[in-house]
Amino acid sequence: MASKYEYLKIPDSNGEFLICIKRHKFDEELDGTSIHYFMPSFTLDYNQDKIIRKDCFIEHAHVLGYKTDGFVLSNEYEFKQYCKKKFNEFRGELSINPFAQANGKQEPIYTDDEICSLNFHW
């Protein structure tokens, strides 16, 4: 059974609850397991010439602990919409190399599974 804290929204720098995060259980060598959260983020992989997920790790104490600025419950649908929004923002910041276009290179096609994956990506 999923926890009610599986998907949360935390405040951004303006205090609005717009950042969607997902809970993830890490298996640790000495302590067993620990629960942390991650926020979807994207970067450019120059080896593949492709945008890839590279999530931001957020400690449990910054979400539900004493260092928190509050949170709002969320769901899987809102998390996936947030992933798409972050992907489109990152994609909009990139500029296409005109020499690559002249040589016939095209931007790869990205699936929803790549963009909206519910798994943590290092």
SS (H, E, C) 69-80: CCCEECCHHHHH
Please give the Cα distance from 101 to 50 (Å, whole number). 15
* Tens-digit pLDDT profile for residues 56-113: 999 888 888 777 888 999 999 999 999 999 999 999 888 777 777 777 778 889 999 9
Sign of CA dihedral 38, 21, 86, 67: negative
* Tens-digit pLDDT profile for residues 14-24: 989 999 999 99
Domain boundaries, the chain: 7-115
Q: pTM here?
A: 0.86
